[in-house]
Amino acid sequence: MALLKGTLDVLVLKALSFGPMHGFEIIRWIEAGSDGAFAIEAAALLQALHRLEERRLLTGAWGITENNRKARYYSLTPAGKAQLRTETASIKSSVAALRAILDAR
């Protein structure tokens, strides 16, 4: 199943709200959270991360994984947390509105 347009960014922010993660962890977290419904492609994820970092919603820094490998870890900035709250609220209300329309008989 493909992601709804524009929702990857908010999913990344949500993932990082539990603490710093590297790219593959984020992919795994989203796939697990959606019960494998959403498949995240690595290139798309990296682009999203770069985009969000540019907007100063998160910061990236190199670190070492539990498997003793180099990986870039990302964490939310205060601005990122605020962004997550507003986007969550706005998507929730959109989804509710969509459902109301689509459920109409």
Partner 1 sequence: MTPEERKARELFELSIHRPDLAPADADAELQSILDEHIHDLIRRGLTPEAARAEALRHLGAALPAATARVHRSAEHRERRMKLQDLLQDLSADLRYALRTLRRSPALATAAILTLALAIGANTAIFSAVSAVMLRPLPFANPGGLVMLWEENPDFKWHMQDAAPANMLDWREQVGAFADVAGYPSFPSTTTLTGHGEPALLKAQQVTGNFFSVLGVRAELGRVFRDEETWDDSPRVVVLSQRAWRDIFGADPALIGKTVELAGRPVEVVGVLPRRFAFPGLEPDVWQPMRWSRESRAQVFFRRAHWIHPIARLKPGITPGAADAQLQTVVTRLQRDYPVTNTRMGAGLTPLHEFLVGKTKLPLLVMFGGVALLLLIACANVANLLLVRAAGRGREAAVRLALGAGRGRLFRQALAESAVFAGLGGAAGVTLGWWGTQALAALQPAGMLPVSDIAMSWSVIGYAFGATLLCAVVFGIAPTVWTVRRVPADVLRDEGRTASGTLRARTWGEALLVSQVALALALTLGAGLLVRSYLLLQKVEPGFDSRRVLAVSVNLPGFRYDSTRKVIAFYAELERNVRGLPGVDAAAVVSQVPLGPPTWSSTFGISGREPLPPGGEVLHRELTAEYQKVMRVELVAGRLFTEADREDAPMVVLVNETLARQYFKGEDPVGQRISFDRIPDSTSTWRTIVGVVGDERQRGLGQEPRPEFLAPYPQEPRSGMTLVVRTTGDPAGLAPSVRQIVARLDPKLAIASVQTMDEVRAASISRDRFLTVLMLSFAGVGLVLGIVGIYGVVAQLARRRMREMGIRLALGARASQLQWLVVRKGLGLTMIGIVAGVTVALGATRVIRTLLYQVAPVDPVTFVAVPVLVLLTAGLASWLPAARASRADPCSVLRSD
Query: How far, in Å, CA of 52 to CA of 98, rounded?
Result: 27
Contacting residue, 7, 19, 36, 51, with partner 1 by CB under 8 A: 51
Using the structure block, give the residue that is written with the tokens 């524009």.
6
DSSP characters over 4-53: PTT-HHHHHHHHHTTS-EEHHHHHHHHHHHTTT-SPPPHHHHHHHHHHHH
Give the range of 8-16, 19-27, 87-95, 96-104 binding partner 1 by CB under 8 A. Answer: 19-27
Residue 27 touches partner 1, criterion: CB under 8 A = yes
CA dist., res. 60 & res. 7, Å (int):
21
In the region spanning residues 61 to 100, those forming contacts with partner 1, defined by CB under 8 A, are: 61-62, 65, 67, 69-72
Minimum CB–partner distance for residue 25 and partner 1 (Å): 8
Contacts with partner 1 by CB under 8 A lie at 22-25, 27-28, 39, 41-47, 50-51, 53-54, 56, 61-62, 65, 67, 69-72
